[in-house]
């Protein structure tokens, strides 16, 4: 018999095949048992009949959930079966009889599921999310490839830091003392644009913030892009094009998975250029009219973001924040020095910030001043300052959070389900 995968069933209708996988669930009647069978490419129903299987039927009838089996039998179209096909077994080899599987058919709480993440990852919902993640990351890479960006893998161990050290994980580094796990590749990307023009990186990012919310992980994946000779407006135009590309391609490719996740993709279909653009000051006006007492100079909180995203039917940029609320490397507005050229992109439907980006300060003296104003030490930024000494150019870039974007695309309540093994404030196992 020919071995095939469940995803290939349309080509094997009426034929005898061998499939290898696991029993997701089982139902039995007097003379017939139904195994819900999974092989990594799909699910189907295996029909096991007493009269066909003989002695092994007694074992199959009570086989523990998650046992691994190899099934030989005929592929048949069957509307009543999950996946649309069933295999009428002529024989079944038991590879391993599972111990009692901790995750049952009824609902479970988050603590239990997260403690059993290594087993939870087998479930239909979780495998669907992982496939959407795979597609999203692939389309991210495709976009940059198609637009002549070069991948630059930035270091994980770093000495200089994007911002202050209080939210960095420190690591002992031989005789050199402390290094820190990277929380951004941006500064290194800035070095790379001088040779390559447009570059990007995609990798894990570490934040030692004691954050405990549905939008935070201590280890998450971020894609960052940096472009030479790009100003603020060009940066936003690119982000708009990029986000539209990855969303449209991902939802088109993974329709079945999104359906399983019960994600209504109509709102996602509207994610095409142009996005809404409002200034920080306009955002404050909106919030004040909604009854907020937020003061100028304060960063927008989670609730503020939610209020604003609910007013728009597609992603919205909030541009030009006060300089005091943002990082030192952002370029200050030439006419209004109290502002910087930056923007956060908020995803609709209450998801909030998925991108932070800015045009970078390319003037040596202004950058030195900004470093000092932020109580940072210019000496530790030697190489970064050099970039403003040898052919400095206007440049801009942004970073997009993979898990937040995936959470939005999948319509999930919490980012913890979007990464295979989430690291959170109180959780580093499994």
Partner RNA sequence: UCCUCGGUAGCUCAAUCGGCAGAGCGGGUGGCUGUUAACCACUAGGUUGGGGGUUCAAGUCCCUCCCGGGGAGCCA
Between residue 305 and residue 364, which ones bind RNA under the rule CB under 7 A? 305, 325, 327, 344, 352-356
If phi over 0 gives left and psi between -120 and 50 gives alpha, with beta otherwise, what is residue 141? Answer: alpha
- The pair of structure tokens assigned to 290 is 């909604």
Q: Does 31 bind RNA (CB under 7 A)?
A: yes
Closest distance to RNA from the beta carbon of 300 (Å): 8
292 belongs to the binding site for RNA (CB under 7 A): no
In the set 102, 274, 337, 350, which binds RNA (CB under 7 A)? 102
Max alpha carbon distance in the chain (Å)?
86
Binding segment for RNA among 75-83, 120-128, 130-138, 246-254 (CB under 7 A)? 75-83
| CA pair distance 41, 38, nearest whole angstrom | 7
Cβ–Cβ < 8 Å for 158, 182:
yes
Instruction: Determine the 3-state secondary structure of 178 from DSSP.
Output: strand
Given 47, 129, 135, 307, the residue binding RNA (CB under 7 A): 47
How near is the Cβ of 390 to RNA at its closest, in Å? 26
Residue in 153, 285, 299, 373 binding RNA, rule: CB under 7 A: 299
* Selected binder of RNA within 2, 14, 109, 146 (CB under 7 A): 109
By beta-carbon proximity to RNA, the closer residue of 82 and 135 is 82
Nearer to RNA, 138 or 207 (CB): 207
> Which stretches of 191-328 are assigned E, i.e. beta strand?
198-206, 219-228, 276-279, 316-319
Residue 397 lies near RNA (rule: CB under 7 A): no
**CB within 8 Å of 244: residues ≥ 6 apart:** 271, 272, 273
User: How many angstroms separate the CA atoms of 267 and 280, rounded?
Assistant: 25
How many residues interact with RNA (rule CB under 7 A)? Answer: 75
CA distance 331 to 340: 5
Of the pair 112, 173, the CB lying nearest RNA is at 112
Q: Contacts with RNA in 241-260 (CB under 7 A)? A: none
Query: How would you classify the pairing of strands 16-28 and 2-3?
Result: parallel
Binding residues for RNA restricted to 159-178, rule: CB under 7 A:
163, 167
Nearest distance from C-beta of residue 402 to RNA, angstroms: 8
Question: Do the beta carbons of residue 319 and residue 330 sit within 8 Å?
Answer: no
Is 272 a binding residue for RNA by CB under 7 A? The answer is: no
Helix axes 232-253 and 124-146, enclosed angle (nearest 10): 140
The reply to whether 65 sits near RNA by the rule CB under 7 A is: yes
H runs (alpha helix) in 84-123: 110-115, 117-120
Complex with RNA: residue 277 or 364, whichever CB lies closer? 277
Query: Alpha-carbon distance 216 to 352, whole Å?
Result: 12
- The C-alpha atoms of residue 356 and residue 322 are separated, in whole angstroms, by 14
Measured between alpha carbons, how far is 316 from 275 in angstroms, rounded to an integer? 6
Q: Hey, which residues between 398 and 417 contact RNA (CB under 7 A)?
A: 399-401, 403-404, 414-416
Q: Kindly state the smallest distance separating residue 403's Cβ from RNA, in Å.
A: 5
Q: Which one of residues 11, 27, 77, 311 is an interface residue with RNA (CB under 7 A)?
A: 27
| Interface region with RNA, contact rule CB under 7 A, candidates 108-116, 132-140, 269-277, 330-338 | 108-116
Nearer to RNA, 65 or 191 (CB): 65
Q: Judged by CB under 7 A, which of 10, 297, 302, 378 binds RNA?
A: 302
Q: Looking at beta carbons only, is 299 or 338 nearer to RNA?
A: 299
Report the alpha-carbon distance of residue 173 to residue 277 in Å, rounded: 44
Q: How far is the CB of 228 from RNA (least distance, A)?
A: 21
CA distance 344 to 239: 10
Please state the closest distance from residue 158 (CB atom) to RNA, in A. Answer: 15
CA distances from 94 to 34, 56, 60, 66, 141 (A): 15, 9, 9, 11, 41
Q: Which stretch binds RNA (CB under 7 A): 60-68, 131-139, 172-180, 307-315?
A: 60-68
Per rule CB under 7 A, is residue 34 in the interface with RNA?
A: yes
Element (H, E) at 355: strand 352-359
What is the pattern of x (binds RNA, CB under 7 A) and - over residues 198-237?
---------x-xxxxxxxxxx-x-x---------------
Q: CB 24 → RNA: shortest distance, Å?
A: 9
426 binds RNA, rule: CB under 7 A: yes
């Amino acid at each position: 018999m020919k071995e095939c995968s469940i995803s290939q069933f349309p080509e094997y209708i009426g034929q005898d095949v061998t499939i290898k996988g696991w029993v997701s669930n089982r139902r039995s009647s007097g003379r017939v048992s139904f195994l819900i069978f999974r092989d990594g490419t799909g699910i189907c129903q295996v029909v096991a009949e007493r009269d066909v299987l003989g002695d092994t039927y007694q074992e199959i009838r009570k086989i523990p959930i998650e046992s691994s089996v190899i099934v030989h039998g005929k592929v048949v179209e069957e509307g009543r079966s999950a996946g649309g096909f069933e295999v009428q077994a002529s024989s079944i080899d038991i590879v391993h009889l599972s111990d009692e599987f901790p995750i049952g058919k009824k609902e479970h709480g988050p603590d239990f599921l997260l403690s059993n993440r290594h087993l939870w990852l087998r479930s239909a919902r979780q495998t669907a999310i992982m496939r959407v993640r795979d597609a999203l990351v692939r389309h991210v890479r495709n976009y940059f490839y198609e637009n002549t960006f070069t991948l630059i893998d930035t270091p994980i161990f770093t000495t200089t830091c994007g911002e202050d050290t209080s939210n960095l994980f420190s690591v002992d580094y031989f005789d050199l003392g402390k290094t820190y796990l990277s929380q951004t590749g941006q500064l290194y990307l800035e070095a790379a644009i001088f040779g390559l023009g447009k570059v990007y990186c995609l990798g894990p990012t570490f934040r030692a913030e004691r954050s405990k919310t549905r939008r935070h992980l201590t280890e998450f994946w971020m894609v960052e892009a940096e472009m030479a000779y790009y100003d603020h407006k060009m940066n936003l135009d690119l982000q708009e094009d990029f986000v539209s590309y990855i969303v449209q391609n991902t939802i088109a490719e993974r329709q079945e998975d999104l359906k399983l996740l019960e994600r209504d993709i109509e709102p996602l279909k509207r994610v095409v250029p142009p996005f809404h653009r409002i200034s920080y000051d306009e955002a404050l006006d909106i919030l004040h009219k909604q009854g907020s007492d937020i003061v100028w100079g304060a960063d927008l909180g989670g609730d503020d973001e939610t209020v604003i995203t609910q007013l728009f039917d597609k992603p919205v940029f909030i541009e030009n924040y006060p300089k005091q609320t943002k990082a030192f490397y952002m370029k200050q507005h030439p006419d209004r020095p109290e502002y910087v050229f930056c923007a956060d992109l908020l995803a609709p439907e209450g998801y909030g910030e998925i991108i932070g980006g800015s045009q970078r300060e390319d003037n040596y003296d202004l950058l030195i001043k900004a470093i000092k104003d932020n109580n940072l030490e210019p000496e530790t930024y030697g190489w970064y300052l050099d970039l403003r000494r040898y052919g400095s150019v206007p440049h801009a870039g942004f970073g997009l959070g993979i898990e937040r974007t995936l959470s939005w695309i999948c319509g999930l309540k919490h980012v913890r389900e979007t990464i295979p093994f989430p690291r959170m404030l109180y959780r580093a196992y499994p």
